Every structure is written in C-alpha cells, then in structure tokens.
A = this chain, B = another copy of it.
Amino acid sequence: MTLPEIAKLGHVALVTPDLEKSLWFFKDVIGLEVTEEKNGTYYLRAWGDFEHHSLSLTAGEKGYVDHIGWRTKRPEDVEGFAQLLEKAGTEVNWIEAGEEAGQGRAIRFKLPSQHSFEIYYDVEKPKADEKRRSVLKNQTYKAWARGCSPRRFDHVNIATSMDVGEILEYLGRQLGFKLREYVRYNEKTTVAGWMSVTPLVHDIAVISRPQAETPNQLHHISYWHDSAQDILRAADILAEAGIKFIGPGKHGVSQAFYLYVCDPGSGCRVELFSGSYLIFEPDWEPVEWTEEDHSIANTYWGETVSDKELNKPTIEA
C-alpha cells in the first residue's frame, strides 16, 4: 500500500469569545473574505486561497483553536491515515461531510501534545461572486479590497510544554513532515523545529514553552503577502486601527520578513509575513541553529519577538 500523504495545510478552526471583534479583525483589518456563514460559524479565506476556507470563526466561551486542518494528496489518504493512526494507538474520530461547511468526510485526532488535527481530502473550491472575482482565471478574488490583504494562508506554529523533539519526531513519523530547520541547545534539547510537506520552509513549526499550563498551545497562525512592502503597508493599517504589533523584522530561521499581531477578539496571534525561501532539494539537510546563534536565528534584524513574548500565554490549540 502506498503510504498516505499530506499535501498541504488547509485551515484553522478558531473559537472566539468575541465573534464580532474577531470578524472585524480578520475581515476588515486583515482583509479576509467571508465565503459562507453556517450555523453561526463564519468561513473565511484570503484573496488568493483556493479552498472553501482557510479560517473559521465560531463563538465560544474562550479563545482557542478547535483544530488545524490538513488536506491529503489523494482521496484514499484520509482512510489511510485513519488506519495508520489507529494502528499506532491514536484515537480517531470521523467528521461527516458537511459538518464543516464546504468539506467532505474527515478525521480528527490529537497529537501527543494534545493539539487537535483534522485530515480531509474533499473540499469545495467556490468561485468568488462575480463582482469580487478577479479578471485573472488563476486568482480567486480581486486583491486589495480591504485591510492588509494577504494573498494566502501559509503556516501554523504550535507551542508546547512537552519535549519539542518528541513532537517533531511524531510529525515526521506519523504524518510525513520533513524537518527543515531547528534550534538545539547543547546538542540535545530541541527548542524549536520547522517542518513541511511542501517546499515551504514550514507548514508547521513547534516551539518550546515549558511553563505553559497545558501542552497544547498555539504560537501563531500565518498569512502570506507577496511583498515586503505589503507588510509595511499592513503596519500602517494596524497602527491606524489602534492595534499593537511586533515587528517588522526578519527571522534568520526561514528568512521570513514578519509582523506579529493578535486578534483582539480571540487572542490568536497572527503573523503577517513575506519573503522566506523554498526548499526543492530532496536531500535537504535540516539547518541546525545552536544556543550560540539562537539570537540571529530568531532575529536577523528588526524588532525581536523576544523569549518573553514567545513564552507569553496565548491560546490553546
């Protein structure tokens, strides 16, 4: 049997105690488009996203990530992952088609760190309303309608109080993620790792947050902009909206030009980023950063996302 494979990151399902404020933030300030509202859940995506949604917003008592959704390469891979995971002793729950708007049958399960993942293949790729549709056949919406206006959903970064190396190993073994870069102290403690199934440096990153109350924390979700200038424009927009943020700056790891901002509704941290590089080499040797060069790994230049900030409690995922 061919091993099942993940093709790409799909979406994040976010729960927020202030749905109105989160909608304002993601729609008006970040500039996402609402694809559908169903049973109180809002489904959003960026102008260059192709799937039904890359973010969903649902009202709840507190802010947390309900699950992170991944799309498989082939339809049969969903069943394939279900079998593999169950064989490994992981509890797998099936989500029926339509339970999540625009999406077919899917499975949900938890990482050893208790982060909740969803795996699906079938998904709608609705066109934009004619008025909002791009004149380009390869682009979903006209760009630049509102707010920061990122092109597409890019990656998730999860934090955990568990051993990061263990989670990275799990993501590699069970789900096929390849390690691209990592920070390791004293040649033994992995502080952070960046992994992907695509040529992006990371579809997912895992970062150590030892003092967290639960092992399943979110560090941030990230949307991608075509140009560094768009990040500077986003900075103007956020400053004028009265929303504090960190950055701009450039990470050494992944070479991302970034800006970090929190959804004032849910507390979910969002990285707006551009730049970075692509890994096409099939024999990529994961880049190791040590304690000695952790500083440049974190910040090549610009405003630092400090350890204090990194370890600040955000929301669970």
Chain A interface residues toward B at CB < 8 A: 7-8, 48, 50-51, 71-74, 121, 125, 134-139, 142-144, 151-152, 181, 198-201, 226-230, 232-233, 235-240, 242, 245, 247-250, 252-255, 257, 275, 277-278, 280-282, 287-289, 293, 296-297, 300-303
Copies of this protein in the complex = 4
Closest residue on chain B to residue A303 by CB atoms: B303
Q: Could you jot down 17 A-B contacts, CB within 8 Å?
A: A50-B281, A51-B281, A121-B282, A125-B281, A138-B201, A139-B277, A143-B236, A200-B278, A226-B275, A227-B275, A232-B257, A235-B250, A236-B250, A239-B300, A245-B301, A248-B301, A303-B303
Closest residue on chain B to residue A234 by CB atoms: B144
**Does A300 contact B227, Cβ atoms closer than 8 Å?**
no
Closest residue on chain B to residue A290 by CB atoms: B137
Q: Given known contacts A198-B280, A277-B151, A282-B71, is B248 in contact with A302 (CB within 8 Å)?
A: yes
Q: Report the minimum CB–CB distance from A27 to chain B (whole Å).
A: 15
**Does A240 contact B135, Cβ atoms closer than 8 Å?**
yes
Q: Report the minimum CB–CB distance from A195 to chain B (whole Å).
A: 14
Closest residue on chain B to residue A125 by CB atoms: B281
Q: Report the minimum CB–CB distance from A127 to chain B (whole Å).
A: 12
Q: Report the minimum CB–CB distance from A268 to chain B (whole Å).
A: 20
Besides A51-B281, A121-B282, A138-B252, 5 more A-B contacts (Cβ < 8 Å) are A135-B239, A137-B288, A138-B287, A152-B277, A198-B278
Partner of A282, one of B72, B136, B257: B72
